[in-house]
Structure 1
Amino acid sequence: MDMQSGQNSKGDSMLAQVFVDWRDKPCSPKKHGGMRAAVFVLAIQAFEIMAIAAVGNNLITYVFNEMHFPLSKSANIVTNFVGTVFLLSLLGGFLSDSYLGSFWTMLIFGIVELSGFVLLSIQAHLPQLRPPPCNMISKEDHCMEANGFKATIFFLALYLVALGSGCLKPNMIAHGADQFGNDDPDQSKKLSTYFNTAYFSFSVGELIALTVLVWVQTRSGMDVGFGVSAAAMAVGLVILICGAFFYRNKPPQGSIFTPIARV
């Protein structure tokens, strides 16, 4: 009986060591994880979708009216941007599982995304970083399409946002789910509640982006709109960092290609 309980205790200890705290020490169920930790992840999810949805919704307007790309090319730019965001989710998941872990992947690429928003805001604010103003709808005006340094700044900013958001998205839900254990039925119920709340958080962020933030862009200009997106992203990152002491972190497992190479 003692031997069996000892084996169970050893098994529980090994299970507990699967997750570590911010100092890479085994986490404690009383101090780490649970809904208290997941709330911080829900917050960055809401603020991140708020930031990028506001940019994505009016992006074609900015590309067409301010950067003076033809309408067909503007639509293609937006489509490529959205596709890149989702394609880079594969990279974010790979880096998280293999090398960085969810928290550090979210933090690093959240900063990358923030830098893209800031650069977009700066370009939208400074006339020297955009083509001369003109009416793209009027046939009388011969608008100059953005090229050279101006186009480089625009695409650099845009794809910094795509890189950051793409690598961040797959880790938000995963990191939140990691805060709940699978061995406790009560934790399983809380995990289900978390997924429902995560969808609600996503919806609230999207709603605010498509109403309040788009209204700000329309009324105050795209530079202010991009700046608000940057501010929302910054708030989300601060909240993410504030939860670092409470997270259960799953250590990276190393490259998935290493076992294949050994075979």
Structure 2
Amino acid sequence: MAIAAVGNNLITYVFDDMHFPLSKAANIVTNFVGTIFILPLLGGFISDSYLGSFWTMLIFGFVEITGFILLSVQAQLPQLRPPKCNMASKKDSCIEAQGFKANIFFVALYLVALGSGCIKPNMISHGADQFMKEDAKQSKKLSTYFNSAYFSFCIGEFIALTILVWVQTQSGMGIGFGVSAVAMAMGLLCLISGMIFYRNKPPQGSIFTPIARVLMAAISKRKQICPSNIETLCGSQVNETNHHKEASSLQ
């Protein structure tokens, strides 16, 4: 919900408040949204390999909140934004955000993107880990969980695209960013409140380690000559057949 409200009304803030040209503002928003959708690969990798879904969501949840707070502070303080002017008027010569002001904006924006992108792939999977697939009753509840989760996402999107966008339009983007930060904080509190009850799937280690081992083995043995007698090969069908015959004769 928090990220949806920011993404859909961000171009207004970038154009009207930060005074970036419309083409550049559109490019900034496009890059921001694209980053959010590509970072789930990183979030899933970190979760599966090192931290697990719970700790990944917790850590990057605080990263996202930090970004929202920075955006809210910048939108509230005139010292951190360019002087006010009407970008739609040709008479006004608006100053584009540069230097320290632009750096704060981009750091805050991509903290939000980093946090949101790494949380996305872990929300559904963390909930699914709480069900035992071997249990028939819990297996049925799992499908209900997926439906409920998707319905909740849709409700959150609806609230973000209506109420939060209205708040941003009427009260300013500073309040809107603040509401997003509060919503994110409430979500993290709900996550932490069930910490002792979760069934956490342990990380499996880096997926690149076995791939690297295979590549290293292939490179190190690339000059070895394949034996002419296939019976000497470990795991060959002929070798396995002979062992099976020997075992049968002993019985």
Flag whether TM exceeds 0.5 (same fold).
yes
Partner residue of 2:124 out of 150, 162, 173 = 173
User: 1:158-237 counterparts in 2 under 5 A?
Assistant: 158-237=109-188
Gaps spanning 5+ residues in structure 1: where?
A: 1-49
The separation in 1 between residues aligned to 2:31 and 2:140, in whole angstroms, is: 39
1:108 equivalenced with 2:86 (yes/no): no
User: Partner residue of 2:202?
Assistant: 251
Q: Secondary structure at the match of 2:36?
A: helix
- Supply the distance in 1 between the matched residues of 2:122 and 2:189 (Cα, whole angstroms): 17
Paired position in structure 1 for 2:93? 142
- Identical pairs, percent: 80
- Structure 1 residue 96 corresponds to structure 2 residue 47: yes
Residue 220 of structure 1: CA displacement? 0.9
Structural mapping, 1:119-158, within 5 Å: 119-158=70-109
Aligned to 1:81: 32
State which structure, 1 or 2, has the greater radius of gyration over its C-alpha atoms: 2
Which whole-Å deviations, capped at 9, do the CAs of 1:116-154 have from their partners, x for residues lacking one?
Answer: 000000000000100000000000011000010000000
Deviation at residue 104 of structure 1 after TM alignment: 0.1
User: How far does residue 261 in structure 1 lie from its aligned partner after superposition?
Assistant: 1.9
SS of residue matched to 1:80 = helix
Give the counterpart letter for 1:135 in structure 2.
N
Partner of 2:68: 117
Q: Is 1:261 aligned to residue 249 of structure 2?
A: no
Counterpart Cα distance in 2 of 1:124 and 1:86: 25
Specify the code of the residue in structure 2 equivalent to 1:107: L
Q: How far has the Cα of 1:203 moved from its partner?
A: 0.7
Secondary structure of the 1:245 match is helix
Aligned to 2:190: 239
In 1, Cα distance between equivalents of 2:145 and 2:78: 45
Secondary structure of 1:142's aligned partner: coil
Q: Root-mean-square deviation (CA), in Å?
A: 0.6
Q: For residue 59 of structure 1, what is the amino acid of its counterpart?
A: L
Show CA shifts across 1:79-102 (max 9, x none): 100000011100000000000000
Distance 2:93 2:81 in 1: 15
* 1:67 maps to 2:24: no
Question: Which residues in structure 2 correspond to 1:17-32 (within 5 Å)?
Answer: none
Specify which structure has the bigger relative contact order, considering alpha-carbon pairs within 8 angstroms and separated by 6 or more residues.
Answer: 1
1:56 counterpart = 2:7: yes
The Cα shift of 1:57 comes to: 1.3
Q: CA separation in 2, counterparts of 1:142 and 1:104?
A: 48
For structure 2, the 5+ residue unaligned runs are 215-251
Q: What TM-score does the superposition give when structure 2 sets the normalisation length?
A: 0.84
